[in-house]
Amino acid sequence: MKIDQFRVRHFKSILDSGIINLDPDVTILIGKNEAGKTNLLKSLEYFDRDEFYEKELLPSHLGLDAKHDISNKEYEDIIMAEFNFTVEEDDKEKLEKIHSGLKAVDSIKCSKFLDNHYRIEIPDVNLDSLISPEQVSIDLKIEENRKNIVESAKRFKEDLDNILADSIYKNNKSNFLEIIDKLINFDPQEIENINYEEELTNQINYRDPRNNYIMSEINEFINEIDGYKDVIVKNLLSLDLNIEEQILEILPNFMYFSTIDELEDEAHWDDLKNNKNRYKTLRNLIYLSDLDINIDDYTHIDNISKTENASATITGQINNYWKQDKVKIKLYITNDKVSVLVWDDYINSFQVPSLRSEGFKWFLSFYINFTAGSKEEFKNTIILLDDPGVYLHNGGQKDLINTLQKLSKSNQIILATHSPFMINKDDLGQIRIVSKKENDGTIVTEKFHESAYDALAPVRAAIGMNLGDLLFIGEKTLVAEGITDDILLKPMSKLLQGSDENFIDTSKITFLDVNGADKVKFYLPFLLKENIDYLILLDYDEKGRKKAEELKKQYGSELNILMHNEVKNRKGDFEIEDLFDYNFYLRAVNLVYKDLFIKKLGKEALEKEDINPKTFRGIKNYFRKSEKFKRLDKKKVAKKIVELIEQGELPNKNTINNFSKLFKLINEKLDN
């Protein structure tokens, strides 16, 4: 189960964060110091059932205005945090076990209040109307034993005439009957508040020997009732875990990290056995090696083999993620202690972890703890990382964010950072801007490209550095939505350069491939703020047209946009591939797919009669509609076209004219 969105209120610097949508894998919180990033992460941690709100957590600046004033509210009415969880397939199985009426649930909303109670809400489901099979069984047991008590009380009431007839208490019959009537008409929820034993025995004088028979009868009745009462009380306790409580049990936990326990060099086995709060990272490494720390002979051949396998496994895994240098991890065990060694290429020898760099120690320790924890304590857990990898240099931080992207498939991750190297430029949609205003406290902006410019320094740096600073060096910038634009425009411009045709002067115009029309919005704010001349080049298809309208609506109709169809003044869908001669493009397609065509079609190439209409659109539709192919890989075909041009196989004059017109339009729009 993952968080879809959440909202925090009345927590430290947060008056109202607003609704925050989260990435299903990794969400990156950035912002200036003191903006409230840590408070935001801690507010998530406090949603855990093991954490309890105290009034000291309330913002010190409450009551600034009516909107945020809660001074007159009771604690049970003050919402501190609200979460919407997306229900995944394995969650649905758990929900169905709780109640069959929950098997179709897709989302769950859960709120936590200042008095630390929770409220569960599910769309189109009335939880109060659901009764679980366990609860039905419990209710039946309670009702069965209630009836037993009532029947026993009625029998005892009928026997009272004979029991009291010749006793000194025959005139006290009304007192006995009043006590018995309480049991005949009792509410099972109030069973522990009925003091029938004390009230009955108080009617008797213990010192009078004539009471033996009466006391014997009363005690027999009390023992019978006590047996039924015990069953009711036991089942009433089981009822405490109602459906809402059971749903809370399967919601994710939260684990906050601001520091990581570094991997220790060595430890004696006795210390590992007897001190669970120490050597946490080393214990986790041993756990990953499948070793049992409680065995008698650590040097047995089976344990030596496990150690060697673990050393090889952890070495392979670390090298998959840590790209700064090759490492080799070795566990060395004796019957006294376990040691860890790390190979160092520079000294050509093993050394203990403590002698390695702070950055490497942090990364290694983090990976060991996270990998071990994801199998146990991190299962169904959302990881909160506060400024992770602070000791890592730039390359190590890039390795870390790549590692987190992979690990997030098993655990949703939310991290706060100042570093541009912890931002994945290929998925800027993961970014959320955290800022703080004097009267509004800490707030979060999902659309970072609409945030205050001074809050975007890490993003500007991340984009600029990942592009080799080209975004900010070029006099003019051509923003191409797709990678095929970037692949094809440069060689076609080079081909036309030196002729009478139009071309793009790459010494003055920088190409910026943003990998999709949806990504343009992430880069446009920086181009505008930096006053860089720009032109956005979009395909004239449904997605491109929609994106052009969205951008103009947000930034104004004067936005500098060029659609590919303007080259030929076409109204139908038109992409850069449409600028090529059909036969030339089909040749490139046949060369790319030759082996696959032989395998699936029994021939080396598509023929003219296979395609209708005989255009790029016809080729694209052929792949889209064919059961034997998923889609046309335009990137591979574009690269093949470049290869053909480099080998001297040139497109026809019509293609040259089309690109010349495109380059003329680009130059004109960038010169205006």
Per-residue H/E/C for 253-271: EEEEECCCCCCCCEEEHHH
Backbone angles phi, psi at 348, to 5 degrees: 55, 45
- Residues forming beta bridges with residue 113, ordered by sequence position: 79
Distance CA(535)–CA(478), nearest Å, equals 5
- What is the C-alpha to C-alpha distance for residues 313 and 289, in angstroms, rounded to an integer? 8
Predicted local distance difference test score (pLDDT) of residue 597:
93
Q: Specify whether the CB–CB gap between 568 and 658 falls below 8 A.
A: yes
- Asked if residue 452 has pLDDT above 60, the reply is no
131 pLDDT band, cuts 50/70/90, is low
588 and 637 Cβ atoms separated by less than 8 Å: yes
The tens digit of pLDDT for each residue in 145-186 reads 999 999 999 998 888 888 887 777 777 888 888 888 988 988
Query: Can you give the pLDDT at residue 421?
Result: 73
293 CB-near residues (< 8 Å, 6+ apart): 269, 272, 273, 283, 286
Q: What is the DSSP string of 596-627?
A: HHHHHHSSSS--GGG-SSSSHHHHHHHHHH-T
Of 24-28, 200-204, 448-452, the range with the lowest mean pLDDT is 448-452
Lowest mean pLDDT among 289-298, 370-379, 451-460, 627-636: 451-460
* Whole-number pLDDT of residue 472: 40
Q: Where is mean pLDDT largest: 231-240, 275-284, 388-397?
A: 275-284
For range 628-644, the mean pLDDT: 91
**pLDDT of the residue at 207:** 66
Q: Does position 492 have pLDDT exceeding 90, yes or no? A: yes
pLDDT of residue 639: 93
* The token pair that represents 363 in the structure block: 């990364």
Percent with pLDDT over 70 in the chain: 89
SS3 helix, strand, coil % of the chain, rounded to 5?
50, 15, 35
Backbone angles phi, psi at 62, to 5 degrees: -65, 155
Q: How do residues 656-669 score in pLDDT, each as one tens digit? A: 999 999 999 999 99
Residues 231-262: pLDDT tens digits?
A: 888 887 665 557 888 888 889 988 888 777 88
Mean pLDDT of the 506-533 span: 77
Q: What is the pLDDT of residue 656?
A: 95
Domains of the chain from N-terminus onward: 2-22+36-129 (no CATH), 133-238 (no CATH), 257-379 (no CATH), 467-567 (3.40.50), 582-650 (no CATH)
pLDDT of 190 > 90? The answer is: no
What pLDDT does 585 receive?
A: 95
pLDDT (average), residues 516-545: 82
Residue 446 has pLDDT above 80, yes or no: no
Task: Give per-residue pLDDT as tens, 305-360.
Answer: 888 887 887 788 777 777 777 788 888 888 888 888 888 777 778 888 888 877 77
Q: What is the pLDDT of residue 65?
A: 52
In the predicted model, what is the mean pLDDT of the chain? Answer: 83
How confident is the model over 569-588, as a mean pLDDT? Answer: 91
pLDDT at 465 over 50: no
More confident residue, 60 or 255: 255
pLDDT of residue 371: 77
Q: Give residue-wise pLDDT tens across range 206-227.
A: 666 667 778 888 889 999 999 9
Higher pLDDT, 407 or 596: 596
- Position 468 pLDDT exceeds 50: no
SS3 state at 19:
coil
